[in-house]
Amino acid sequence: MNYPKTRLRRLRYNKNIRKLFEDININKSDLIQPIFIVEGDNIKKEIKSLKGQYQLSIDNTITFCKELIENGVNSIILFGVSSKKDETGEISCSSESIIPKAIKEIKKTYDDQLLVIADVCNCSYTNHGHCGTIVNDDVDNDLTLRTLSKQSLTLAEAGADVLAPSDMMDGRVESIRATLDASGYEKIPIFSYSVKYASAFYGPFRDAVGSGPKKGDRKTYQMSFKNSKEYLREIEQDLNEGADAIIIKPALAYLDIINVAKTNYNTPIIAYNVSGEYSMIKSSAENGHINEIEVVLETIYAMKRAGANAIITYYALELSKNLKY
Ligand code: PBG
């Protein structure tokens, strides 16, 4: 409109002037690396649908963590791959279950060099693949809260720094908070997956942990992406129950949600750049259609620009090798 008096390209004229006004940064410390942990020794098995990501036994997890630390990635989120499964996921509540065992080793080796976030859910541990206890063909909310709280306590006892419930049951933050507080773990934060859509982008993850539902889908607990307002109530509910930070998932098709959440709530936001988002970029790059690292950076910058404070991404390690700080 004001052209030729205003020429916006003047501020893009060379790299120094562009840099002067760029205001979004990604730091290594913003990145959280997911790790899939499997029972056994010396296992490093590539996940077919998540090329470059592996199921690792505890010993190899320790080696992988060293590489993360050396590259400045100091946060991890853990997922169990369990061959033992039962009706309710109760198996996850034992201190001998895979993730509590792994946390103990990681903490013993690295102490506060790593922030260990434990995903809390039953789907890796139930024989039907749903996130909770089934009653009359549906996941029973209140019965599931019992296993989630018990699992959370086991994870806290093992040394988890943070708990991240991803099951989408109503009331889980309150229930987990009360359980932790009653046992003296009032300092352990809860990063709640407050906004989690029933998404086809989780496909590769379900391959990775063998957690897909055998029957039905997760639509009675995960949210519909055709609903534009429900997430505001989910966030409010979790914050009221004591969530310390919220996770929004998936990330890329949901940047609008991240942005509105940022504007409306004074709470830290974590974007989960999920498995399908990773493998889309990976496959396309492998076919030579895009420049992988440039596309990854562009998407992670977009998540930060939308309002994410931190990002869970399978690209964390790779990205950290391309970041100075
Ligand atoms: C467990 C869980 C899932 C993911 C994280 N935690 C799968 C699901 O809900 O089906 C997906 C992560 C990803 O796709 O990267 N409930």
Q: Indicate whether 153 belongs to any domain.
A: yes
299 contacts 273 by C-beta, under 8 angstroms? yes
User: Is the CB–ligand 1 distance for residue 55 below 6 Å?
Assistant: no
Looking up residue 156, the CATH number of its domain turns out to be: 3.20.20.70
Q: How remote is the CA of residue 9 from the centroid of ligand 1, in Å?
A: 43
pLDDT at 79: 98
Secondary structure letter of residue 274 according to DSSP: -
Q: Output the six-digit token pair for 24.
A: 């979004």
At 324, is the secondary structure helix, strand, or coil? coil
**Best mutation site among 205, 219, 223, 315 for ligand 1 pocket (most ligand atoms within 8 Å of CB):** 205
Instruction: Using 70 as the pLDDT threshold, list the residues of the chain that sit under it.
Output: none
Q: Among candidates 161, 181, 162, 165, which has minimal Cα distance to 173?
A: 165
State the Cα–Cα distance between residues 36 and 324, nearest whole angstrom.
27
Q: Indicate whether 209 belongs to any domain.
A: yes
Domain that holds residue 145: 25-320
**Best mutation site among 121, 168, 197 for ligand 1 pocket (most ligand atoms within 8 Å of CB):** 121
> pLDDT for 51-69, tens place per residue?
999 999 999 999 999 999 9
Q: How remote is the CA of residue 206 from the centroid of ligand 1, in Å?
A: 7
State the Cα–Cα distance between residues 286 and 319, nearest whole angstrom.
17
Secondary structure letter of residue 189 according to DSSP: -
Radius of gyration over every alpha carbon of the chain, rounded to an integer in angstroms:
20
Q: Examine the residue annotation and report whether 249 is marked as an active-site residue of this protein.
A: yes
Sole residue written with tokens 């501020």? 11
Q: How remote is the CA of residue 209 from the centroid of ligand 1, in Å?
A: 9
Q: Indicate whether 10 belongs to any domain.
A: no
Which is catalytic among the residues 196, 226, 229, 324? 196
User: Is the CB–ligand 1 distance for residue 119 below 6 Å?
Assistant: yes
Q: Indicate whether 1 belongs to any domain.
A: no
Q: Indicate whether 146 belongs to any domain.
A: yes
pLDDT at 207: 87
pLDDT at 1: 73
Ligand 1: atom nearest CA of 222 is 9
Sole residue written with tokens 């990773």? 278
Q: Output the six-digit token pair for 71.
A: 């590259």
User: Is the CB–ligand 1 distance for residue 251 below 6 Å?
Assistant: no
Q: Indicate whether 309 belongs to any domain.
A: yes
pLDDT at 60: 98
Secondary structure letter of residue 73 according to DSSP: -
Q: Indicate whether 7 belongs to any domain.
A: no
Number of domains the chain contains: 1
User: Is the CB–ligand 1 distance for residue 32 below 6 Å?
Assistant: no
State the Cα–Cα distance between residues 268 and 247, nearest whole angstrom.
9
State the Cα–Cα distance between residues 118 and 299, nearest whole angstrom.
25
Q: Indicate whether 2 belongs to any domain.
A: no
